[in-house]
Amino acid sequence: MIDPPSRYVHPAEIARRVSRCRVLVTGAYHLAVFALSQGIPVVALTSTAYYDDKFLGLGAMFGQGLTLVRLDDPDLEQTLTVAIDQAWRTAPDVREPLRTRAREQIDASRAGFDRVAGLTQARPATPVGPA
């Protein structure tokens, strides 16, 4: 168990702390991103459809390694225990596939930004407003 950080911590420090985990249990989307991208499975705690969708979308991006647990589950204690145990057991097997997906997403993002930059730099500036 890692002690919670102080109130104001740089994101790089948070990512470093997450890197020491075997499994992350969180309700925070960006912590889940930090974990999955480093090959660490996540048990995502939610209580709204909005966060269900965010976490499920993140899980789809990585293809595995994320288990959603609703806080209003009547069997929360058992559901959470099973989810954590399963994530713990599968952690070694999902580490490299998660890291591979992270690298693929980084490459796709860079390619997209390069394409947009190329499109915007290739065109002459268009005046805005009345001439």
- What does the domain layout of the chain look like in residue ranges? 11-121
Q: Do strands 66-70 and 42-46 pair parallel, antiparallel, or not at all (unpaired)?
A: parallel
43 contacts 76 by C-beta, under 8 angstroms: no
Report in angstroms the alpha-carbon separations of 11 from 62, 76, 83, 102. 21, 30, 26, 18
Is the pLDDT higher at 110 or at 123?
A: 110
What value does the mean pLDDT take over residues 58-79?
Answer: 96
**Token pair for residue 114?**
């390069």
Q: What is the pLDDT of residues 104-120, one digit of tens each?
A: 999 999 999 999 988 88
The more confidently predicted of residues 8 and 123 is 8
Give pLDDT, residue 74: 97
pLDDT at 43: 98
Q: What is the pLDDT of residue 102?
A: 94
Q: What is the CATH number of domain 11-121?
A: 3.40.50.2000
C-alpha dihedral sign at 11, 59, 94, 112: negative
Please say if the pLDDT value at position 71 is more than 80: yes
Non-local (6+) Cβ contacts of 119 within 8 A are: none
Q: What is the band of 130 on the pLDDT scale with cuts at 50, 70, 90?
A: confident
